[in-house]
Structure 1
Amino acid sequence: MSIRNLDSLFDPASVAVIGASERPFSVGGTLWRNMRESGFAGRVFPINPKYKELTGQRCYAHVADLPEAPELAVICTPADTVVDLIKQLAKRGTKAAVVISAGLTAKQKQAMLDAAKPSLLRILGPNCVGLLSTHAKLNASFAHIPARPGDLAFVSQSGALVTAMLDWAEARQIGFSHFVSLGEHADVDFGDMLDYLASDPHTRAILLYIESIDQARKFMSAARAAARNKPVIVIKAGRSAQGQKAAASHTGALAGADDVVDAAIARAGMLRVNSLEELFLAAEILTRFKAPIGDRMTVLTNGGGVGVLAADAAAAHGVPLAELGQALKHDLDKVLPANWSHGNPVDIIGDAPAQRYVDALTALAKHPQDTGTLLFIQAPTAIVPSTDIARALIPVIRPEGKAPLPLVSSWVGGPAVAEARALFTQAGIACYDLPEQAVAAIGMLQAYGRNQAELAEAPPAELLHNGSTPDVVRVREIVRQVLASGRDMLTEPEAKAVCEAYHIPVVATRTVPANAVAAGDEAARIGFPVVLKILSEDISHKSDVGGVVLNLNDEGDVRAAAQAMLVRVGKSHPDARVEGFTVQKMVKMPQSQELIIGASIDPTFGPVILFGQGGTAVEVMKDSAMALPPLNAPLARALIERTRVAKLLHGYRDVPPTNLDAVVATLMAVSQLLADVPEIAELDINPLIVNHQGAIALDARVRVSAKQPAGAARFAIQPYPAELSETIDWRGQALTIRPIRPEDEERHRAFLESLDVEDIRMRLFYSRRTMERSELARLVQIDYTREMAFVATVPDGAGGEKTVGVARALADPDNVGAEFGIIVRPELKGSGLGRLLMDKLVRHQRAAGTQQLTATVLTENDRMRKLGHALGMREAPVAGDNSTLELVLDLQG
């Protein structure tokens, strides 16, 4: 639904426990005890007709008997009582409920939601452990122990994991802001929790345990918004291999659900980990590491052994060690003994006093281009206490008034390093017990950096790498004819025609009847050598049945091969309909690689794109990665780099680097095809032969479906809506009004800095013209599903654009209401630009189904009030605040 009334769930003024009991070890008894012992300062009401009082407090028989409406209710009564209780609570005005009860039928769950909806009563559960909100001292759960206060939020689909995590974290003294068991998430789900926690001031990182994801676009929208504000770390159950489904393409066989989840997590800017241990390793580094993320690592240590362990761990986690430059080595020679390691790891020898650590770290800090991320490892010695070293290093790592060093630390040992470790932690420096843990965390940090880069990309659905326009009409006609004939598989010539229409190079293919002489004659016309393939709607993987023969050098070879092929296919697939043969020129590309590019439809996330090493052994090699469309060039390259074959594509020995632009163009073409043609259900281009000169598709197969499982509307991520851009002649110049893009960041900064402080106060209730980088990124890296910002730009005279105005609307996730704002450059006040932007915004939100636009404005803001009246908005007072009022526009009336 949205975050509405979730404050009542996590920070209520009063709580009713329905089914409260004095029976030990019962759910009702445990819940009542937890609520009473949690230190909750609000009013608590037990409800159970069996008792007159509980633990010295009056107990009420029914909801109707309560002296007031509880803001939150916790229900732990039998399943068949839940619907009626929700009706009673909604009638009383309760804002949220935790339904502990299990065993509700689908009909009961729907009746429960129907009863809650009119009053927007929010429901957590059913069949959940409950929740803990430490800042509110609220324990509305039947967990066996409370949570320590902290700033990590943990949200889980598994109730058992909630209690196990509490126990695990307590032993390690890890604290939480919220602990939430979603249960069957009939109402409050991961999307709602991400929306709520993204702006929660008590939470610095969000930890998720996910078993399944519903409503992929809602989840991705919320996840992308949250991941822009704070780290989101995910454990997703179900990594193990599932049974291979029968598929018409290699892509269908390779596209496991877990690979798609990996792609979704990466695209949302989150980080996936494999265990509870990794969850907290990642939380430590992502919330404490404030410097830019380096792609290499330099180790500084006082012990050769721990340095070697760190280097081994770096190799295991794919973290490259930096090569020390000559200038850096020269600076280290000045401050280190002659027998230092002269390489990476930088071993400053076990007898190092505190000043040697300081000098070595200072030298490394002078050469950030050489070092990347720094890993500091110290093992205790009798020469100098570790505490002294920590105190000496903290001012170097966290210099006052300057950016912190990109450093992660590991104090190896127990009591001897405990105080040093505590000092680093208090200083906000990521700190680990073991070098291997620190290296693993740095690997996670680098993966997180790559995912955050993907988060910033907002490609349009309509974008080919070479700027050419595909022949969409031709493809749609091919698809129409195939479906009209009762088929769902395109023939090889049809599939290649689809590729050609989207400017994917293919080898020319001729079709002949199932006649050996005809095949030989066509081969002679093409020129030798040739490839002969069987043509049959019933045979998808032709090579598996001997339906492909390569390197045929004369007509006799072709005729013999054709005759033998008919015999083989007749024996292995006697019921297969053979339409004939295809004959094509044998392509020989020196120093080439075989790749696969494909697409399929995931039941949760919709269309997905696959890239990897191709050929007939593609399922055996399983060197592939997935991505969610839409793709642009940076996202396509990121997909390529997630595979092992990428190393070969960059060149090796005497093999020159592959023409990656040709591969990127093919990936982007497939992305656009999925957006344009919703009937596409599966696609394989295998092999795509590529070398330094270019790429060409030797084979392609396409399956279509009248159910239209693809199309931009089915993408889990809303593409950049380029179609909303328009350019008009305005005041003698070209004025473009278009959706904002991440690339607008610097233009937007210049725009904000051009505004009068008074204008900013009037529009934004904000007193500064400058913004932090994170705040600015949030304004330009928007999610077009729930937020829209239209910028007005004019030519800047230097071949670029200048932003002159912006109108923005942020909708509830359920799209009932949207808050809007508008601001233009000071010199353009009264020019009509504000009206143009608002007209555009109103049209868009109305078409998107938004019910109402609202804005809170200062009562003294006459210009905005006048614009609101011109647009048909009404004014409404803001309760308890005479300095502001609300402008309201009903869009759907």
Structure 2
Amino acid sequence: MGVRNLKALFRPQSVAVIGASTKANSPGAVVMRNLIQGNFQGPIMPVGTEKSICGVLAYPDIASLPEAPDLALVCSPAPEMVATMRALGEKGAKAACIMTAGLQHSADSSSGLSVFDSVRAEAKIHGIRVLGPNSMGMLVPGIGLNASFAPDIAPAGKIAFVSQSGALCSAVLDWACAKGIGFSHFIHTGESMDVDFGHILDYLGSDPHTRAILLYLQTVDERRNFMSAARAAARNKPILAIKAGRSTEGALAASSHTGALAGSDLVFDAAIRRSGMLRVQDIEEIFGAVETLARSRPMKGKRLAIVTNGGGLGVIAADDLADGGGELADLPLDVVDKLNALLPPNWSRGNPIDVVGDAGGERYAKTLSILLDCKCIDAVLVMYAPTAISNPDEVAEAVIKVYKDKPRANIMTCWVGHQKVAGARRKFADAGVPTFETPRAAVQGYLHLLEYRKNQEMLMEVPASAATDFVPDVALAKGVIAEVMERGDNILTEAEAKTVLSAYGIPTVPTHIAGTPAEASRIAKTIDGPVALKILSTDIVHKSDVGGVVLNLTGPFDVEKAAYAMLDRVKATYPEARIEGFTVQPMITRRPGTQELIVGVATDPIFGPVILFGQGGVAVEVIGDRAVALPPLNLNLAAELIQRTRVARLLKGYRGRPPANLDALHMTLIQVSQMVIDLPEIIELDINPLRCDADGVLALDAAIKVAPVPAGSNDRLAIRPYPAEQEEWFTMTDGRQVLLRPIRPEDEPNHHVLVSKLTPEDIRFRFFGLVHELPHSEMARLTQIDYDREMAFIGELTLPDGAKETLGVVRTVTDPDNEAAEFAVVVRSDLKGSGLGKRLLVKMIEYCRSRGTHAIVGQVLKDNRRMLKFVEHLGFVQTKTIDGDIVEVEYDLKKPAVTEPEPPETA
């Protein structure tokens, strides 16, 4: 149900307590006491057997309540829960927090279902939003709401904390209260019968009272909704997450290297990274990180300079930076010369910059100014240890002045100690300067900034070009998989797997199949040079483990001899395996600098298909060099996946060895990503080893595991891929053909051109003001969309020289409940009357209707009479006027589609 009635849940005007009690320490008594002590200003209505509870008149049943409550806190026993929810629905309650546990294990005799399922069904009938069951409740300090079992009301603040663990909620609340950390919301999800992380993120992402969102997750129920909500919220405010450990049962059941290696924690990291969030490891770190993100200025690079009055402090910070993968900035000669003229002769003459123990505020300030003027330095960490010569407050004030004078500079501070530096830390906090107590904490904060910046770039990145350089033979690949499944197998033979790879343009080594040793010998005669012999069995994935691989065989006799020996080894090692024969391949000569890689696919039980990349070969598990990403991939995302591995440095070339062909490697990852989208039957895939050198890539071995596609698996990918099925051709009135298709991130450059070709009047009508150009951040937001929540169709013309041109665009943004989609449409100013605007808007109407959206709404300037006439001809009606000069129009998608008369083309 999206965000419907979530305001009643999280900012209620009235609260009822069902099962309220005067019995000491009972749930109903604790909840009533907390509500009263929290100073909630709305009506509090207890429902219980006593006449009054906590001095408040009680009601014998829900029907007796004087009004329908926004929020019902339900402490009733499990057997009474179905009747309670029905009564709340009949009364008109909008939301409920069920604090009772055990609903999954209690039976509802009237329906034969569990109480959990019956309550969920009852809530859905009446449109009641449910937090829980087994929830300790929530706190909204800003309105005095302590609707929980928590012992104290938390201070009001701008941070929202959402947790799946009740015990952790209690511990975090106690820890945060002691440190004076305030909250906008403090929510325990419980068992998420209805309201889950996705719904809460949708609500908090647009909540003006919340500056940052902190999550503690154990699992995710709806991957698509979670990822869409997280990506939408992360555009507005920082989201930080802690993840509890997860079961590795899925990995243990895997049959391929990839399936075994794509561990749950790697996948969770990939999901967090792709959604623009930041992962941290513990509670103290999460609160430190959110303050760092809130106070720090945007990072443009990762080169850090460290200024200190003690060499030891600088070394500690540099070590921590190296351990975390950070980068110390190199000091250019001109900067060293300037520092030589300023600092004592015994300064460190390098980074970290030791300004010596007697440094006062002036020396710190001048050093800092020199460093901040250097384009080779992206941020400065200023450190100070108390000495008998200098004053920590005076030094702090000097640093703050530089901070204020350099509004674009990124400065972090670390005043080490306790009592002597407490005043300086307060000065930094008051001035908004990020400050830390230890070198490790300071470096950790800096690394958080780097990781967060990288994740935000992934969220908003715009690829240089699309993956349009290959056209897969999808029919061939599907045919191979269908044959395998028809014969009752779930693992493709090596030859079949390579056929699928070849269908997607991935180069493979020629592979011949032999049924007997003698046939393998005859095939070897046709191969010029040494050959590789492998066992052929759908029961054996890791051939080397059973002695099923022999390399560098020279001649037919050696091949036949090796084949007989291989049969003996395999039968002894794996007697129950079905042996279909052998594969015979030419040996591929390994050039200097060639790397053996692994590229694969695994299916995570929570986030669905994931793509793995790393260093390959038979020792892939021992090496443990791997990274995981969620599909779909593009060129930038493929490159980022590779960069997260150690082998990436080897691929760049070293000691005279040429760099690998990274373009070919990027394309291979994109081809595998497309395979995941097109072939839902694939649940595991291994390309190992994938040889990569300066000439390109070559798949030497491959394994694919398949399974029937379950019904309703349209959301198997955590991130919805580009909906190619929405592409269509349209002929404009001048005879030119235009491709109507969903927008892609790489359309940004052409979108800038489209805006540049609009008249000032059209710009005012579209953007409600004069806009000369849109910044990259805004244009990226318009072109890099979540197809689950938004849609934009463009009209694209192919010019005679092959270049592409965007002629118009229509877009909608749909609310999380899929009730209304807000539209906007614009066509290049010189194309009025071409029919393009009408077809784009009609296409969007058809699309929204197919998704079950209830209505399309839009806002039009009152003096834009041509647009008002245009949309009215298509069936839109005017619903209201906003601020006197804006008209809201609406199209009811619930009514049957009708053929509309030709409207004037003015969009």
Aligned residue in 2 for 1:680 = 682
Task: Give the corresponding residue for 2:320.
Answer: 313
Asked if 1:393 corresponds to 2:404, the answer is no
Aligned to 2:434: 430
Alignment map for 1:327-338 (pairs within 5 Å): 327-338=334-345
- For 1:56-82, what per-residue CA distance to the aligned partner results, in whole angstroms no more than 9, with x for missing partners? 321111222222211111111212222
Q: Mark the CA change 1:445 to 1:885 in structure 2 (over 3 Å): closer, same or farther.
A: closer
Alignment of 1:254-403 (within 5 A): 254-368=261-375, 370-399=376-405, 403=407
* Partner-residue secondary structure (3-state), 1:667: helix
Question: What do the CA deviations read for 1:787-836 (whole angstroms, capped 9, x no partner)?
Answer: 11234466899996666644222223342432323345666667655423
> Whole-Å Cα distance in 1 between the matches of residues 207 and 569 of structure 2?
67
User: Is the 1:787–1:809 Cα contact (8 Å) retained in structure 2?
Assistant: yes
Q: Take 2:617 and 2:240, find their aligned partners in 1: how far apart are those partners?
A: 36
For residue 566 of structure 1, what is the amino acid of its counterpart? Answer: L
User: Pick from 611, 614, 617: which aligns with 1:612?
Assistant: 614
Deviation of the 1:621 alpha carbon: 2.2
Structure 1: which amino acid aligns with 2:743?
Answer: I
Alignment of 1:641 onto 2:643: yes
- 1:837 to partner: Cα distance: 2.6
Separation of aligned partners in 1, 2:863 and 2:116: 49
2:598 corresponds to 1:600: no
Q: What does 1:695-844 correspond to in 2, within 5 Å?
A: 695-707=697-709, 714-726=716-728, 728-730=730-732, 732=734, 735=738, 737-745=740-748, 748=751, 775-792=778-795, 805-824=808-827, 833-844=836-847
Q: C-alpha distance in 2, partners of 1:614/1:632?
A: 22
| Alpha-carbon shift at residue 428 of structure 1 (Å) | 2.3
- One-letter amino acid matched to 1:121: I
Q: Partner residue of 1:81? A: 80
Rounded Cα–Cα distance in structure 2 between residues aligned with 1:813 and 1:458: 25
Query: Which residue of 2 is the match for residue 57 of structure 1?
Result: 56
Farther off after superposition, 728-737 or 868-877: 728-737
* 2:387 partner letter: T
Deviation at 1:89, TM superposition (A): 2.1
Instruction: Check conservation: 2:96, 2:128, Cα contact below 8 A.
Output: yes
Q: Which runs of 5+ in 2 are unaligned?
A: 105-112, 897-907
Aligned to 1:582, the other structure's residue is in SS state strand
Structure 1 residue 710 displacement after superposition: 12
Aligned partner of 1:146 in structure 2 is: 153
**2:40 maps to which residue?**
40
* CA pair 798-287 structure 1, distance change in 2 beyond 3 A: farther
Are 1:531 and 2:532 matched, yes or no?
yes
Deviation at 1:244, TM superposition (A): 5.0
- Match of 1:371, SS? coil
Question: Residue 161 of structure 1: CA displacement?
Answer: 0.8
Check conservation: 2:478, 2:679, Cα contact below 8 A. yes
**Distance in 1 (alpha carbons) for counterparts of 2:415 and 2:340:** 25
Identity of aligned residues (%): 48
Q: Residues 831-866 of structure 1, C-alpha deviation per residue, up to 9 Å, x if partnerless? A: 655423311211221233323323355666644443
Q: Does 1:24 align with 2:24?
A: yes
The one of 451, 454, 468 aligned to 1:450 = 454
- Residue 872 in 1 paired to residue 901 in 2? no
Gap regions ≥5 residues in structure 1: none
When the two chains are superposed, the root-mean-square deviation of aligned CA atoms in Å is 2.9
Distance 1:423 1:676 in 2: 58
Moved more, 718-727 or 644-653: 718-727
Corresponding residue of 1:246:
253
SS of 1:229 mapped into structure 2: coil
Question: Which deviations, in whole Å up to 9, do the C-alpha atoms of 1:732-789 show, x marking residues without a partner?
Answer: 4665544333345566567668778887776666787776765554333321111112
Moved more, 567-576 or 578-587: 567-576
The correspondence for 1:204, drawn from 191, 211, 222, is 211
The 10-residue stretch of structure 1 (555-564 or 707-716) with the greater mean CA deviation from structure 2 = 707-716
- Contact map agreement 1:676 1:711 (CA 8 A) in 2: no
Code of the aligned partner of 2:850: A
Q: Tell me if structure 2 keeps the 8 A contact 1:216–1:716.
A: yes
Distance 1:798 1:389 in 2: 63
In 2, the alpha carbon distance for the partners of 1:578 and 1:135 equals: 70
Aligned equivalents of 1:248, 1:360: Cα separation in 2: 59
Aligned partner of 1:176: which letter?
Answer: F
Q: Choose 814-823 or 71-80, whichever is displaced more.
A: 814-823
Write out aligned runs for 1:437-516 (5 A).
437-457=441-461, 464=467, 467-515=469-517
Against the structure 1 CA distance between its residues 807 and 639, is the aligned structure 2 distance closer, same or farther, given a 3 Å change threshold? same
Which residue of the partner structure matches residue 129 of structure 1?
136
d(CA) in 1 for partners of 2:262, 2:526: 40
Matched, 1:846 2:849: yes
1:419 maps onto 2:427 in alignment: no
- In 1: Cα distance, 2:491 partner to 2:710 partner: 14
How many Å separate the matches in 2 of 1:3 and 1:247?
Answer: 38
Change (3 A) 1:709 1:463: farther
Which residue number in structure 2 is paired with residue 555 of structure 1? 556
Letter in 2 for 1:514: T
C-alpha separation in 2, matches of 1:661 and 1:709: 37
SS in 2 for 1:146: coil
Using the size of structure 1 for normalisation, the TM-score is 0.93
Amino acid in the other structure paired with 1:330: D
Preserved contact between residue 269 and residue 448 of structure 1 (Cα < 8 Å) = yes
Instruction: Read off the aligned partner of 2:317 and give its amino acid letter.
Output: A
Amino acid at match of 1:504: I
With over 3 angstroms needed to count, the CA separation of the structure-2 counterparts of 1:553 and 1:879, relative to structure 1, is closer
Q: 1:658 and 1:832, CA in 2 relative to 1: closer, same or farther beyond 3 A?
A: closer
Distance verdict in 2 for CA 1:222–1:485, change over 3 Å: same
SS where residue 165 of structure 1 aligns?
helix
Of the structure 1 ranges 787-796 and 97-106, higher mean CA displacement relative to structure 2 is found in 787-796
Q: Tell me which residue corresponds to 1:566.
A: 567
Asked if 2 retains the 8 angstrom alpha-carbon contact of 1:470 and 1:501, the reply is yes
8 Å contact kept, 1:657–1:691: yes
Q: Is the 8 A contact 2:240 2:280 kept in 1?
A: yes
- Shift in Å at residue 27 of structure 1? 1.6
SS in 2 for 1:584: strand
1:97-246 superposed matches below 5 A: 97-105=96-104, 107-238=114-245, 244-246=251-253
More displaced stretch, 113-122 vs 74-83:
113-122
Alpha-carbon separation, structure 2, partners of 1:101 and 1:767:
56
CA distance in 1, matches of 2:240, 2:790: 24
Q: Secondary structure at the match of 2:417?
A: coil
Question: Aligned in 2, Cα 1:435/1:509: closer, same or farther, shift over 3 Å?
Answer: same
For residue 59 of structure 2, give the secondary structure of its aligned residue in structure 1.
coil
Contact 1:532 1:584 in 2 (8 A): yes
Q: TM-score with structure 2 length normalisation?
A: 0.92
Q: What is the deviation of 1:361?
A: 1.0
- 1:878 Cα deviation (Å)? 8.0
Q: C-alpha separation between the residues in 1 aligned to 2:295 and 2:433? A: 6
